[in-house]
Amino acid sequence: MAERRLYDAAAKRDEKALHELLQQDPLLVNRVSYTSPNKTPLHIATIHGHLPFVEQILNQSPHLAEELDSQQSSALHVASAKGYVEILKKLLSAAPDMCLSRDSLGRYPLHLAAIKGHVQVLEVLLGMAPFTAGEKMDRGLSLLHLCVKFCQFEALKFLVPKMNELLNSKDDINGDTILHMAVRGKQIEAINFLLTVAELEVNALNLNGMTALDVLIQSKWDFRDSEIKESLKRVGALGASKTNNIPLHNYRNIQDNSWKRLFQNQAEWLEKKKSALMVVASLIATMAFQFGVNPPGGVWQDDKVVDSQGNQTISDHTHQNHSAGYSIMASSNDPGLYMVLYIVNTISFIASLSIILLLMSGLPIRQKFFMWILMVITWISITTIALTYLESTYSLIPPDADDSTVDVILQTVKVWIGLMALLLIGHTIRLIIKLVKKLRKILRPRQRRMVAGTVT
């Protein structure tokens, strides 16, 4: 019960309750430190940043500064992460060796201060144990790597002048220097600052044989890229292919990775196009099928046969007027329009089914040329289904309707034809330009050989 009250007093910053508990049981703090597997009251008081409470506990039991919690963190680790400078000094005066203690992740208090960017804490800890600044965490991350990784620019500016020997150190993951890491994170302030340091190796290579400029070029595009690229080139940054110390196999790896990314992007583009075409083709096929089985005006529901005198009969089929199931529009006064409608609708239906069949056939449609063919078929399908709609609408207009309705349909057809013509001309010009460029590439070597032959 007393232990619970002690923790509550630490959490609530209740100095009076703490004083009373210690008067009642002077050994309470010591007993809690041995029986609690988790944080001690000193940890709790440090987390809440209550300096008087920390002082009272340390006066009563200074050895608590050496106690570790379940994460192997001391109160000094907590104060370093929180940035409590005065509490930090009190803890160091009670247990100065704890600045050499690592937690379960291999971090010194100095590492935690760098991760959180507490410059004053860094200054105090460097004064107590300067050699810990050169110690690396797991995966080879140095103190400077941590500042860049967690975007602590002020801490980086404070540490770089004090530890130039770590400026070009590389981690154990990708062999990145802090410049590689800053460029990958697009940290403009950190990059510009690092580029002013004379000891920085701008063209250092990581384990993938890449310089900082290569990392920028191969990263995902960002609006900050142009500014970073200018800053790097201003101080002489080069790509790996232009440096003299790049191993040949690393350069080949870079080229291979570039080609892999290119093919991967092209494959993703084709997959997106295929999915979109499948959806469009399915919708158009559904609409065309619906028109085929349910034409405008519907179908006759009965048989009607008339003889030569115009009397209706049910047996003489020599002068049949209409039959059940046949299109009403086909039996009307304008069967030619019905025939045009069915031809256009059939083209749309067959074109859509062709797209679906090609996409589901398993053929190696991996080139943009084949996708372009599918796009042309899609244009045909969309155009014919649009014409089907317009002609169906026209057939439903009564003869005595206003001419403005017909004019709207005609103008719509003209606009649609103009749009399709514009697309066709644009893509034709594009195709011609590509063909001309390819012809030039083919003809140039031949012309050079001919010129060389005439000279000799």
β partners of residue 327 = 299
**What's the pLDDT score for residue 370?**
74
Give 321's DSSP letter. Answer: E
- The CATH fold assigned to 143-246 is 1.25.40
Tokens of 340: 């045009």
**What's the pLDDT score for residue 414?**
80
**What's the pLDDT score for residue 88?**
94
64 C-beta neighbours (distance < 10 Å), count? 24
Task: Find where tokens 């000279």 sit.
Answer: 455
Range scoring the smallest mean pLDDT among 26-30, 136-140, 373-377: 26-30
Contact 74, 66 (CB under 8 A): yes
Reference 110, options 125, 94, 124, 96; nearest CA is 125
Does residue 453 carry a pLDDT above 60?
no
CATH architecture for residues 1-135: Alpha Horseshoe (1.25)
303 vs 63, higher pLDDT = 63
pLDDT tens-digit map of 240-253: 666 554 444 444 45
**What's the pLDDT score for residue 455?**
47
* Maximal C-alpha separation, the chain: 127
Domain boundaries, the chain: 1-135, 143-246, 267-292+332-455, 296-329
317 vs 110, higher pLDDT = 110
Cβ-based burial of 191 (10 A; exposed 0-12, middle 13-18, buried ≥19): buried
**What's the pLDDT score for residue 252?**
47
pLDDT tens-digit map of 15-24: 566 555 555 5
Does residue 365 carry a pLDDT above 90?
no
Does residue 80 carry a pLDDT above 60?
yes
Does residue 362 carry a pLDDT above 50?
yes
User: Is 143-246 the same fold as 1-135?
Assistant: yes
pLDDT tens-digit map of 40-60: 778 878 888 888 888 888 887
The answer for residues whose C-beta is within 8 angstroms of residue 45's C-beta and 6 or more apart is: 10, 13, 53, 54, 57
pLDDT tens-digit map of 93-122: 999 999 889 988 889 999 999 999 999 999
Give the model's confidence band at 188: pLDDT under 50 very low, under 70 low, under 90 confident, else very high: very high
**What's the pLDDT score for residue 118?**
95
pTM of the shown model = 0.51
Give the model's confidence band at 64: pLDDT under 50 very low, under 70 low, under 90 confident, else very high: confident
**What's the pLDDT score for residue 259?**
46
**What's the pLDDT score for residue 14?**
60
Kindly state the percentage of the chain with pLDDT values over 90. Answer: 22
Reference 58, options 17, 87, 81, 35; nearest CA is 87
139 vs 15, higher pLDDT = 139
Structural element, H or E, at residue 184: helix 178-184
**What's the pLDDT score for residue 246?**
47
**What's the pLDDT score for residue 249?**
46
Task: Find where tokens 């059939």 sit.
Answer: 346
pLDDT tens-digit map of 195-235: 999 889 999 999 888 899 988 888 888 888 889 988 898 88
Cα–Cα distances (Å) from 245 to 121, 153, 240, in that order, read: 40, 31, 8
**What's the pLDDT score for residue 318?**
41
**What's the pLDDT score for residue 11?**
60
**What's the pLDDT score for residue 268?**
64
Mean pLDDT value across the chain: 78
Angle at 231 between CA 225 and CA 236, to 5 degrees: 120
- N-term to C-term CA, the chain: 106
Query: C-alpha dihedral over 342, 344, 349, 351, to 10 degrees?
Result: 150
